[in-house]
């Protein structure tokens, strides 16, 4: 028995790397000293230093994440590129929360049986996400593990490194009582809560206003990097939160916490009805509640349930972004300018709440 008979096709791996090479090169620049195929990616320290020019004390900020069970939707629809964008977004949006500009990205792709064309579609999405956020796709790993992953199943994870001046790190310490919370629209559930979605929305072919439910669910996570980095040059953003797993309740209060779980002494107060909840969340809510309706009727009923069923509403806000993918804490005098800029950049934003002093890092609605 040889390696191929054991389930690992080395030639298919070579073919996949060949497809990755141009995709990675499309994200790079002169600071990348080698191409894919080496044992490790190399980035010029001189260019890293130049990236930190003008900074008193450059700080590297790193983050890692994956796409989770949203991948199952991609498998069922045989569409793999958008989850590559998700992988980048889940990492760089987290790094962005501390004011850091992403520099480079690494990906990890694992499967039971490698199909170079499918793997290249994943990496195509990764490359798209990198280009849109100014990240270099510096390298990665493709692991074929027969007998460990089912054939046709893939997993993907990513790793991002960014840079910020130490004195400009956004960590919540500048937040003040009465600051406004500005929410920026999401593109859907992003990459969270799909273990529940897959249970309550089994029919991906269900009509959703002229397209399939599966297409709506595969909409990639929004990349907030470029508009927020530009906004940071115009106003002092005092806190940021990426609304991922744990929804509003777990993520917005994270901007109030310092080291060792200590809080800066604030709570978040969210104003009910301050933004329209997208229909996809009403459809999920109806599915969670359990019912036989589909299509528009299910969405309309779900919207009513979100207004009347307090327990269901809390579950949804504790699981999903509910239409708000990123939240900023801003001085009241800066909020209007920030919202105008974000709206003009194609990132719909609005005031969704405020910061209240004397708290312990919690969130409530009013």
241-258 pLDDT, tens digit per residue, is: 999 999 999 999 999 987
Do 152 and 234 belong together in one domain? no
Domain CATH for 318:
3.90.650.10
pLDDT-derived band at 30, boundaries 50, 70, 90: low
pLDDT in the model for residue 308: 96
Count of Cβ atoms closer than 10 Å to residue 31 Cβ:
18
90-104 confidence digits (pLDDT tens): 999 999 999 999 999
175-197 confidence digits (pLDDT tens): 999 999 999 999 999 999 999 99
pLDDT in the model for residue 258: 74
| Domain enclosing residue 252, as ranges | 179-365
pLDDT-derived band at 56, boundaries 50, 70, 90: confident
Token couple for 119: 């793997």
Do 157 and 203 belong together in one domain? no
Q: Taking 70 as the threshold, does the pLDDT of residue 21 lie above it?
A: no
Do 154 and 241 belong together in one domain? no
Helix/strand/coil for 295 = helix
Could you say which of 166, 191, 207 is where a domain stops?
Answer: 166
Strands (E), the chain: 58-66, 101-111, 136-144, 154-165, 180-185, 207-208, 211-212, 239-242, 266-270, 324-330, 349-357, 363-365
pLDDT-derived band at 3, boundaries 50, 70, 90: very low
Q: How many domains does the chain have?
A: 2
Q: Which residues contact 262 (CB under 8 A, 6 or more apart)?
A: none
pTM: 0.92
- Choose among 160, 155, 90, 81: nearest CA to 125: 81
pLDDT-derived band at 10, boundaries 50, 70, 90: low
**Whole-angstrom distance, CA of residue 308 vs CA of residue 284:** 15
Q: Which has more confidence, 276 or 32?
A: 276
Q: Burial of 110 by CB count in 10 Å (0-12 exposed, 13-18 middle, 19+ buried)? A: middle
Do 142 and 58 belong together in one domain? yes
Do 12 and 42 belong together in one domain? yes
Q: Taking 60 as the threshold, does the pLDDT of residue 78 lie above it?
A: yes
């Amino acid at each position: 028995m040889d390696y191929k008979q054991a389930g690992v096709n080395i030639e298919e791996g070579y073919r996949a790397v060949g497809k990755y090479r141009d995709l990675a090169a499309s994200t790079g620049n002169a600071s990348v000293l080698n191409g894919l195929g080496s044992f490790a990616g190399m980035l010029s320290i001189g260019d890293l230093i130049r990236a930190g020019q003008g900074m008193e004390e450059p700080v590297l900020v790193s983050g890692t994440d994956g796409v989770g069970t949203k991948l199952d939707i991609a498998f069922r629809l045989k569409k793999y590129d958008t989850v590559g964008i998700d992988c980048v977004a889940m990492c760089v949006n987290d790094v962005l929360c501390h004011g850091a500009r992403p520099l480079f990205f690494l990906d990890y792709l694992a499967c039971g049986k490698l199909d170079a064309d499918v793997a290249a579609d994943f990496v195509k999405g990764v490359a798209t996400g990198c280009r849109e956020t100014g990240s270099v796709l510096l390298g990665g790993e493709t692991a074929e593990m027969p007998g460990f992953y089912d054939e046709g199943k893939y997993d993907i994870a990513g790793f991002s490194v960014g840079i910020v001046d130490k004195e400009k790190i956004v960590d919540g310490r500048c937040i003040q009582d009465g600051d406004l919370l500005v929410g920026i629209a999401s593109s859907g559930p992003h990459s969270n809560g799909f273990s529940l979605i897959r249970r309550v929305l089994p029919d991906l072919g269900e009509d959703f206003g002229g397209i399939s439910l599966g297409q709506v669910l595969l909409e990639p996570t929004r990349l907030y990097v470029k508009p927020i980095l530009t906004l940071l040059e115009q106003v002092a953003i005092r806190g940021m939160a990426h609304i991922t797993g744990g929804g509003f309740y777990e993520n917005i209060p994270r901007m109030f916490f310092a080291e060792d779980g200590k809080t800066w002494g604030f709570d978040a107060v969210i104003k009910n009805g301050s933004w329209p909840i997208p229909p996809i969340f009403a459809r999920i809510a109806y599915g969670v509640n359990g019912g036989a309706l589909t299509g528009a009727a299910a969405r309309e009923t779900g919207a009513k349930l979100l207004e009347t069923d307090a327990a269901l509403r809390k579950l949804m806000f504790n699981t999903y972004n509910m239409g708000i993918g990123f939240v900023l804490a801003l001085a009241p005098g800066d909020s209007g300018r920030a919202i105008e800029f974000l709206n003009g950049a194609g990132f719909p934003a609005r005031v969704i709440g405020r910061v209240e002093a004397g708290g312990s890092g919690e969130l409530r609605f009013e």
